[in-house]
């Protein structure tokens, strides 16, 4: 499958597959801890970047898998995303990159105050004067049946505390 024109539907399947297979040994599932890839028992899975997953202080997540796939499609269509896909090789993990895209997606923000998740969409981003949504991702190439496949190690929206305050004020 050519990687340069993946659709949101194809990326949704890739995201689901990137989470791991039920028969896959736990230690082989990719996880992130303190910005480094680690075995699953010491990090968190890609699915933890979706609303409803466990919370930590100032954590931003995509509202659901469909929003995550649409945002990934937007990131991969940027010049940086296209260049990353062209460099992708089987067995090689690309360094983490952060790409700004228009905030056309719904995200969920969780503060450590215990008040629960707050959802922000394009309307709130516009009212807060935030016109770019930074998204961080790590991609890896995997070889299956003699062809290159995309594997997403992590992908999440990355807003700072100031941006979250603006969004809360616009809500």
Tell the burial category of 39 from Cβ atoms under 10 Å away from its Cβ (0-12, 13-18, 19+). Answer: middle
Q: How far is CA 67 from the centre of its chain?
A: 10
Neighbours of 57 (CB within 10 A): 9
- Per the prediction, the chain carries an average pLDDT of 79
What is the C-alpha R_g of the chain?
16
Report the alpha-carbon distance of residue 142 to residue 119 in Å, rounded. 34
Report the alpha-carbon distance of residue 97 to residue 32 in Å, rounded. 14
Least confident of 81-90, 132-141, 143-152: 143-152
Q: Over the stretch 98-142, which tens digit does the pLDDT of each residue have? A: 999 999 999 988 765 556 778 999 999 999 999 999 999 999 998
| pLDDT of 56 | 41
Q: Residue 146: pLDDT band by 50, 70, 90 thresholds? A: confident
| pLDDT of 15 | 85
41: Cβ–Cβ under 8 A, 6 or more apart, which residues? 26, 27, 31
pTM for the complete prediction? 0.74
Helix/strand number for the chain, H first, E second: 5, 8
């Amino acid at each position: 499958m050519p990687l340069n024109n993946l659709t949101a539907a194809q990326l949704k399947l890739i995201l689901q597959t990137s989470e791991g297979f039920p028969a896959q040994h736990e230690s082989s599932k990719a996880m992130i801890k303190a910005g480094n890839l680690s075995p699953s028992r010491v990090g968190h899975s890609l699915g933890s970047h979706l609303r409803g997953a466990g919370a930590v202080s100032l954590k931003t997540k995509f509202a659901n898998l469909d929003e995550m796939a649409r945002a990934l499609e937007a990131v991969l269509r940027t010049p940086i995303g296209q260049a990353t896909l062209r460099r992708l090789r089987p067995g090689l993990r690309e360094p983490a990159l952060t790409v700004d895209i228009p905030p056309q997606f719904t995200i969920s923000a969780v503060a450590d105050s215990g008040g629960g998740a707050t959802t922000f969409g394009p309307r709130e981003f516009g009212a807060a004067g935030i016109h770019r949504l930074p998204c961080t991702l790590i991609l890896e190439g995997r070889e299956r049946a003699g062809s290159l496949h995309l594997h997403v190690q992590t992908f999440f929206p990355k807003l700072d505390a100031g941006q979250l305050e603006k969004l809360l004020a616009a809500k």
